[in-house]
Structure 1
Amino acid sequence: MIYFILYLFIETFVSVKIASLIGPFWTFVEIIATAIYGIWIIKNMHIQMMATMQALANGEISVEEFESMNLYILLGAILLIIPGFFTDILGILLQFGVFSRFIARKIFKLKSKRDMEDSDVIDVEIIER
């Protein structure tokens, strides 16, 4: 819940600051343009999927990176559709492969650390006769 309130504060703060600089007309244009761009990305998601499949086939990325990159592109497109400057900035950043790979590597590094912590557990099955 605290993250949602923090998001609302940041979204409102950024949107008010930028809207006051560019004015109501250009704010409206930006909201419509990024929503159209987000819808276009979702409609053409198959192109990005083919590019990441090619990278996966060439061994440039792992299966986890393949899944996360496509997920982040879809999430970025959804963020572009949602009105607001902060969500639009995040949505645009998620469209870049470098930023998506950075996030994916951080997440999977954290996941692997948690898996290593759980490696002390020995799974035993007892069969009684």
Structure 2
Amino acid sequence: MLYFLLYLFLEVLVSVNISSEIGGLATFLEILFTAFIGMSILVNFRTTLMENMRAVSFSCIDLEEFQRLNLFTLIGAILLIIPGFLTDIVGALMQFSVITSMIVNRYNVKSNNNCKASYNEKINKQKDSDVIDVEIISDDSTTK
């Protein structure tokens, strides 16, 4: 309950200060704009989920990080839909994978170069597995 009251207090302070600077119409347009962005993120969440699933399949991230990244994307989109400047700021920060990876990994961000290299190796192995080795034996008996 204490954290909720602290959040409400900070939200009111931030919203009143920013609203007084930019005006009522700009505040209204900002609320509509961020709600539209939040809804479009929720609609396109399938693409984000597919990218994270590919990262899990190539062992770039583990399952726990996969769950947290998707959770941060969903919570961030919901925070963008909720009116308020503080929720919009936090929701926008949750959409950046670098920031969420740092939160998930506790400032230990994994390199994507290893993921791309393992992806390319996996594709090359698949190509090599489709090759059939053949040995050609000539029939020298017809030439005698």
TM-score category by the smaller chain?
Answer: 0.7 to 0.9
Alignment-derived partner of residue 68 in structure 1 = 68
SS at match of 1:61: coil
- Which amino acid in structure 1 is aligned with residue 86 of structure 2? F
Distance 2:31 2:3 in 1: 24
The Cα of 1:105 is off from its aligned counterpart by 2.5
SS at match of 1:30: helix
- Give structure 1 stretches of 5+ with no counterpart: 107-129
Alignment-derived partner of residue 30 in structure 1 = 30
Alignment-derived partner of residue 56 in structure 2 = 56
Alignment-derived partner of residue 95 in structure 1 = 95
Q: State the number of aligned residues.
A: 106
Distance 1:10 1:104 in 2: 25
SS at match of 1:60: coil
Distance 2:19 2:58 in 1: 44
Alignment-derived partner of residue 109 in structure 2 = none
Distance 1:2 1:104 in 2: 25
- Which amino acid in structure 1 is aligned with residue 32 of structure 2? I
* Residue 19 (structure 2) pairs with residue 19 (structure 1): yes
- Which amino acid in structure 1 is aligned with residue 60 of structure 2? E
Distance 2:13 2:102 in 1: 26
Give runs of ≥4 in structure 1 deviating > 6 Å.
none
Distance 1:4 1:104 in 2: 23
Quick check: which one's helix share is greater?
1
Q: Which of the two has higher C-alpha Rg?
A: 2
- What is the identity percentage for the equivalent residue pairs of Structure 1 and Structure 2? 50
Distance 1:45 1:89 in 2: 19
SS at match of 2:61: coil
Alignment-derived partner of residue 137 in structure 2 = none
Distance 2:45 2:81 in 1: 15
Distance 1:5 1:63 in 2: 34
Distance 1:22 1:60 in 2: 43
What TM-score does the superposition give when structure 1 sets the normalisation length?
0.79
SS at match of 2:23: helix
Alignment-derived partner of residue 105 in structure 1 = 105
The Cα of 1:103 is off from its aligned counterpart by 2.0
Alignment-derived partner of residue 3 in structure 2 = 3
